[in-house]
Chains A and B, each alone.
Chain A
Amino acid sequence: MVVRDYNDELKYLERIDANSWRIKKGFQPNMNVEGVFYVNSALEKLMFDELRNACRPGMVGGFLPGMKQIANVAALPGIVHRSIGLPDVHSGYGFAIGNMAAFDMNDPLSIVSPGGVGFDINCGVRLLRTNLFEKDVQPVKEQLAQSMFDHIPVGVGSKGIIPMTATNLEEALEMGMDWSLREGYIWAEDKEHCEEYGRMLNADPSKVSMRAKKRGLPQLGTLGAGNHYAEIQVVDEIYDKWAASKMGIEDKGQVCVMIHSGSRGFGHQVATDALVQMEKAMKRDNIETNDRQLACARINSQEGQDYLKAMAAAANFAWVNRSSMTFLSRQAFAKQFHMTPDDLDMHVIYDVSHNIAKVEEHVVDGKQKTLLVHRKGSTRAFPPHHPLIPVDYQLTGQPVLIGGTMGTCSYVLTGTEQGMQQTFGSTCHGAGRALSRAKSRRNLEYTDVLNKLQQQGIAIRVASLKLVMEEAPESYKNVTDVVDTCHAAGISKKCIKLRPIAVIKG
């Protein structure tokens, strides 16, 4: 890493407009393209503080600041257009979380990097609507929260309650949500309203290690821990009446269920296995990167292809996982209200992935190109009329689900044409951490956090109290700042704001 004075570093940073900054070549060595990041004034301060801290003498260890990570990604072989930091960007393994980058599939030197996908492969958010309103749910809020908690297995080491054999798992890895459909856990319309229709076709379970399968088998259908949650939310604000109506959201107070989860230990193991393979590939093919954590392999190499196939299997795992929890949530609601999920109109509004790499067609400098788009902590946000979004959203643009943090609000955005041009149809994914987990534990008391949630009238069921501190809203960037920045920059458009009334956590 180049060590420079903070003021010298600033020479490489240039404001483009009110909501974005350019990172010029030379900020890190060997940059092939420029970097860009989107911020508003509050987030801008966080970003620059982080850089300033890293420039202080004696600062070693830990993750590099987000801006440096964005620039290091810009130095990877085959990257096109720009290395893009979304407003919720924060340091992660190799790639910053909230960093997206696209690589030209037709360039033989282009790479795929597990660090650009993240360890929780196909972590994502699913939103179910209901035809209930806040007044129906408030009186039974506690019971409903308990009912959800009684249906969905949560927490570290939790096990699924949907019987699975090793053969079932192999099929699920290959088929994704088609497996859930075949077995009858979900509805046909769920598949229609899911990114990629809930199935990556290039998945190959034979490229996944036994170890990953062993870890994954008992965990299918569990929420997990960390920042994952299931929330009962009510519509707090509607910004785009028409788009909301296309999603089946008619009025303020309407009740929704948000599920935020991923591929659990399975995806983590797939990523870990791949990193080992990639280190070998880098040595063999002489791939140089600025950061050891940016382990990668050429897309066309054996290691690159193996990773993409295993990653697709992990993505399918995550979709089956969210589908199983959809099934369990519907049961919980049905039991509480003595009505069928059908009568409660519990349709999936949409399901997004925010840790994934996909092959997509984009126009770069006026030319159509096939790209491998890495989105890590970044959500796909395709504009109206894009062929890959469901027919129901052809006029509105793809719904983008932004999960907030425990006790804050969540948003539904829609994709825009401008986002397609500037960020390969990508936008933010959530709040993004501001304090590290360790720091949150030192600074916060769990009783305070719980009291505060109670004062806000939010019912909470949590498996581990330690987690409450780590996941407190204070530990995160303000999701409203993040979403407002995306809206102001035009890379996605605000549609609905949701606030939680009950939270289930690991």
Chain B
Amino acid sequence: MFKRKLLALDHHAPDSVNINDEREIKNLVLWLENQKIRRYKIENRGVLEADGPQWRANFEKYCKDLASPIVDGSMEEKLEWLIGYAVSLEYADDVGKYKAQTAENISKTVLTAPKVESSNPLDNMDFESADFKKGVLTLAQILNITPHPDHLITLQAVSKVVRERLSQEALDNPNNIIVKGKPFPFQEADLGFDMGDYVLNQAAKILRLLYIHDLRDLQTNINETIVAVQSITADPKTDTKLGQVGR
């Protein structure tokens, strides 16, 4: 929780703040007040000491003193606001410095950073070597894929077949993973337009099929999302006393 904001505030342990632990919350609030917010005078900050009595009430008052808009929210929301407030103070302290940190500037710094030597053997391969081309061709032949003049496109097709048809899941349960469509005489289907050339029309038909395939995947994803949401929201009810049914 709050990792990025705490990192920005130079917190000593941004990764490991556990907001379910009351003690850690208390320490975090005190740290924020001591280091960043400084709303109270030093001598008055004792009210936020973790061992202090009535910490909760003091904390509520502290939030009120800071004019926090979160009145009825959970502890998490209150902390979120408090940390955000501290970040905004930090920013206001040195606007000039932070303003320069635009996305553009940051990407420049990244580019000038030293390159890390990759340990991935694929990065050191020559994809244009005759050896590689031959390998792709052989692979395509084994998998029964028609090669494309550009061997990289052939490789894409190989990758697709391996991912979709030769995954562990697909090998274990071919019936569930590999869609068994029903045949449809798409050659006779109405294309909707005529380009006056048999070959072009054929190509258009195949493009349409590919498009429909993509669309089906999209619609399936949409349906799965709806079903996932339904598992949270759905609660169908009927009450036959409300109306009259049957006679």
Residues on A lying within 8 angstroms of B by beta carbon are 146, 149-153, 158-163, 181-185, 188-189, 191-192, 218, 222, 242, 245-246, 327-328, 331, 383-385, 390-392, 394-397, 416-417, 461, 463
Contact = CB atoms under 8 A, between A and B. Distances in A.
Most B C-beta atoms less than 10 A away, residue of A150, A182, A188, A328: A188
Contacts of A417: 190, 192
Given A163-B239, A394-B215, A153 B244 contact: yes
A182 B233 contact: yes
Interface string B227-239: 1011001111111
Given A188-B227, A391-B219, A394-B215, A149 B245 contact: yes
B69 interface: no
Interface stretch (B24-32, B107-115, B134-142, B181-189): B181-189
B230 A222 contact: no
A463 B247 contact: yes
Given A161-B238, A184-B236, A391-B219, A242 B185 contact: yes
Given A163-B242, A385-B191, A397-B190, 15 more contacts: A149-B247, A158-B244, A159-B243, A161-B243, A162-B236, A162-B238, A182-B229, A183-B234, A188-B230, A246-B184, A384-B192, A391-B212, A392-B216, A394-B212, A463-B247
Nearest to A146: B246
B223 interface: yes
B240 interface: yes
Contacts of B208: 385, 394
B234 A184 contact: yes
14 contacts: A151-B245, A153-B243, A153-B245, A161-B240, A161-B242, A163-B237, A163-B242, A182-B229, A184-B235, A189-B223, A246-B182, A384-B192, A385-B191, A417-B192
B226 interface: yes
Interface of B: 182, 184-186, 189-192, 208, 212, 215-216, 218-219, 222-224, 226-227, 229-230, 233-240, 242-247
Nearest to A328: B238
Contacts of A328: 238
A440 B235 CA distance: 45
B102 to A, nearest CB: 37
Contacts of B238: 161-163, 328, 331
A242 B245 contact: no
A150 B234 CA distance: 24
Contacts of A192: 219, 222-223
A55 B190 CA distance: 45
Contacts of A395: 184, 186, 189, 212
B236 A185 contact: yes
A416 B245 CA distance: 41
A191 B225 CA distance: 13
Contacts of A392: 216
B175 to A, nearest CB: 18
B208, B242, B243 pick with most chain A CB within 10 angstroms: B243
Given A161-B238, A188-B227, A192-B219, A150 B246 contact: yes
